[in-house]
Structure formats: C-alpha cells, structure tokens
C-alpha cells in the first residue's frame, strides 16, 4: 500500500511539474489562469502578467503540498534524495525564468 501511495504521489507531482501542458486546463488553477487571461477579463499586458504571476504562485503552493505529503512517506535516505532533487529543480526553474525574462524584457 505504501508503494502504491508513493507512486501516486510521484505521478501527481510530475503532472503538476508539467502543468503548462494541455492537461493543466482541467485543473482549477489552469482554468482560473485561462479565465483571467481572456480578453473579457484582462486586455492589458500588466493584467496578463498578473494572471501569470498568480497562477505560478498557486502552482507553487500545490507542488509544496504534495512535496510535504511525499516527504511524510519517505525514509531518511529517500527524504535526502528528494531534497537534493527539489533543490536542483528549483535552480533549473529559476535559471529558466531568468533567461525568459532576458529574452522578453531585452526585446522591449
């Protein structure tokens, strides 16, 4: 049972990590983001940027929820591996946002 729960959590976390793909539109965060980005709701760049920031913050909370749940199921060796993987992923994410900002802000 513990392995099944662990596999379910890993699948859920990996699904959340790729939340910008097609399937995210069925999650409440993806639906709120889509609604927020609609021209009826936001027709300014500033408004759209705020929609993206809000969605990113909500996805971060969602991933943290499952990270904590997964940590509660792992032994100490597994927890350490997960911590290392999470730190590496955060470093990757931050670098990715850095380059995205450079590309978009550099063109303005």
Instruction: Return the minimum-mean-pLDDT range out of 17-21, 32-36, 84-88, 100-104.
Output: 17-21
Tell me what pLDDT residue 74 has.
95
Predicted TM-score of the model (pTM): 0.64
Query: Which of the four pLDDT bands, split at 50, 70 and 90, describes residue 42?
Result: confident
Query: Which of the four pLDDT bands, split at 50, 70 and 90, describes residue 7?
Result: very low
Per-residue pLDDT reduced to its tens digit, 11-30: 555 555 554 555 556 889 99
70 in Cβ contact with 51 (< 8 Å): no
What is the domain count for the chain? 2
Query: Does 80 lie in the same domain as 97?
Result: yes
Q: For residues 86 and 21, what is the distance between their CA atoms, to the nearest angstrom?
A: 20
Query: Does 49 lie in the same domain as 24?
Result: yes
Query: Does 50 lie in the same domain as 29?
Result: yes
Query: Does 48 lie in the same domain as 65?
Result: yes
Tell me what pLDDT residue 47 has.
85
């Amino acid at each position: 049972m513990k392995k099944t729960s662990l596999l379910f959590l890993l699948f859920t976390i990996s699904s959340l990590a790729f939340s910008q793909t097609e399937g995210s539109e069925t999650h409440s965060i993806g639906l709120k983001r889509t609604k927020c980005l609609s021209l009826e709701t936001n027709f300014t760049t500033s408004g759209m940027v705020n929609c993206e920031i809000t969605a990113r913050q909500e996805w971060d909370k969602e991933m943290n929820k499952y990270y904590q749940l997964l940590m509660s199921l792992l032994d100490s060796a597994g927890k350490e591996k997960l911590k290392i993987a999470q730190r590496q992923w955060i470093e990757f994410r931050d670098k990715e946002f850095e380059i995205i900002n450079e590309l978009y802000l550099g063109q303005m």
